[in-house]
Amino acid sequence: MKNLYIVANWKANMTQIEANNWLSELQIKNYNLSNKEIIICPPYHLLYPVHQQVMQMQLPLSLGSQDVSQYGRGAYTGEQPASLLSEYIKFCIVGHSERREKFHETDTIIAEKASLASASNLLPILCVQGADTSVPKNVKFVAYEPVFAIGSGTSDTPENAEIVAKEVRGKDKDIMYVLYGGSVTAENVASFTKMEHINGVLVGKASLDPQEFSAIIQNA
Per CB under 6 A, the list member of 204, 213, 216, 217 interacting with ligand PGA is 204
Active site residue 96: yes
Residues ≥6 apart with Cβ < 8 Å to 183? 149, 150, 151, 152, 153, 154, 155, 205
**Residue 158 is a binding residue for ligand PGA (CB under 6 A):** no
Contact code string over 6-45 relative to ligand PGA, x by CB under 6 A = ---x------------------------------------
> Which one from 96, 98, 105, 197 is the annotated catalytic residue?
96
Strand 91-94 vs strand 61-65: parallel, antiparallel, or unpaired? parallel
SS (H, E, C) 76-118: CCCCCCHHHHCCCCCEEEECCHHHHHHCCCCHHHHHHHHHHHH
DSSP letters of 160-184?
HHHHHHHHHHHH-TT--EEEEESS-
Q: Is 94 in the site for ligand PGA (CB under 6 A)?
A: no
Smallest distance from ligand PGA to CB 153, Å? 8
Of the candidates 98, 112, 145, 162, the residue annotated as catalytic is 145
Rank residues 128 and 195 by Cβ distance to ligand PGA and give the closer one: 128
Q: How far is the CB of 216 from ligand PGA (least distance, A)?
A: 10
Nearest to 117 by CA among 103, 143, 136: 136
Interface with ligand PGA (CB under 6 A), residue from 64, 81, 95, 181: 181
**Catalytically active residues, by annotation:** 96, 145
